[in-house]
């Protein structure tokens, strides 16, 4: 029979578990995607051009989206958009905002307005993410203090 000269190891439970951290990953992912799109829209807004387009179709069963066409440099483009604050009717002439570097990138809403509209949800999601991370860390600290209060002191 051998006698160990090492002191008994205490098991310290992990205070922040991996699955708690996983809760924040979807929020961080959405923040990244929305934030990136807002920055892209802001960059396009600085250089956007306008042209006149025409509403050519309406799909009320598919998120009430509208199709529109417009022409730039002799080339015709067809896109769709879901209205946020306005509705259109077939044949209506509309202002189309487009990226002069990529004429296929367009919108019926000013790109600076689109970028500004994204900041509200991004701010809310950022607060929720920071709040969730703060709550996870608070709970870990609370558990650590509770364990310290119930810990049996070492033998001298």
Question: Alpha-carbon Rg of the chain, whole angstroms?
Answer: 28
Beta pairing partners, 77:
70
Question: Chain-centre distance of CA 28, in angstroms?
Answer: 7
CA distance 154 to 142: 22
What pLDDT sits at residue 123?
A: 83
Answer for the pair 56, 68: CB distance below 8 angstroms, yes or no: yes
What pLDDT sits at residue 21?
A: 76
CA distance 149 to 139: 15
What pLDDT sits at residue 47?
A: 96
What pLDDT sits at residue 120?
A: 77
Neighbours of 96 (CB within 10 A): 23
What pLDDT sits at residue 14?
A: 63
Task: Give me the tens of pLDDT residue by residue for the chain, a chain 156 residues long.
Answer: 555 555 555 555 566 677 777 878 888 888 888 888 888 999 999 999 999 999 999 999 888 999 999 999 999 999 999 988 788 999 999 999 999 999 999 999 999 988 887 777 888 888 888 888 888 888 877 777 777 677 666 655
What pLDDT sits at residue 151?
A: 63
What pLDDT sits at residue 93?
A: 97
Using alpha carbons, list the distances in angstroms from residue 150 to 58, 153, 155.
67, 9, 15
Using alpha carbons, list the distances in angstroms from residue 136 to 14, 23, 32, 133.
12, 10, 21, 5
What pLDDT sits at residue 35?
A: 87
pTM for this predicted structure: 0.67
Taking each helix axis from N to C end, the angle separating 111-150 and 18-47, rounded to the nearest 10 degrees, works out to: 160
Beta pairing partners, 102:
99
What pLDDT sits at residue 69?
A: 98
Using alpha carbons, list the distances in angstroms from residue 85 to 23, 76, 88, 127.
33, 26, 10, 26
Phi-psi region of 133 (alpha: psi -120 to 50; beta: other; left: phi over 0): alpha
């Amino acid at each position: 029979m051998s006698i160990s000269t090492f002191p008994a190891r205490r098991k310290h439970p992990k205070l922040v578990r991996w699955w708690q951290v996983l809760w924040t990953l979807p929020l961080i992912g959405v923040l990244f995607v929305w934030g990136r799109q807002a920055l892209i829209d802001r960059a396009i807004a600085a250089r956007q051009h306008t042209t006149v387009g025409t509403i050519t179709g309406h799909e009320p069963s598919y998120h009430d989206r509208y199709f529109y066409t417009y022409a730039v440099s002799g080339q015709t483009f067809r896109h769709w958009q879901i209205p946020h604050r306005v509705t259109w009717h077939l044949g209506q002439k509309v202002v189309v905002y487009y990226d002069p570097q990529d004429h296929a990138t367009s919108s019926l809403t000013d790109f600076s307005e689109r970028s500004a509209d994204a900041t509200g949800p991004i701010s809310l999601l950022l607060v929720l993410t920071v709040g969730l991370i703060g709550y996870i860390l608070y709970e870990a600290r609370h558990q650590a203090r509770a364990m310290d209060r119930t810990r049996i002191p070492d033998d001298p």
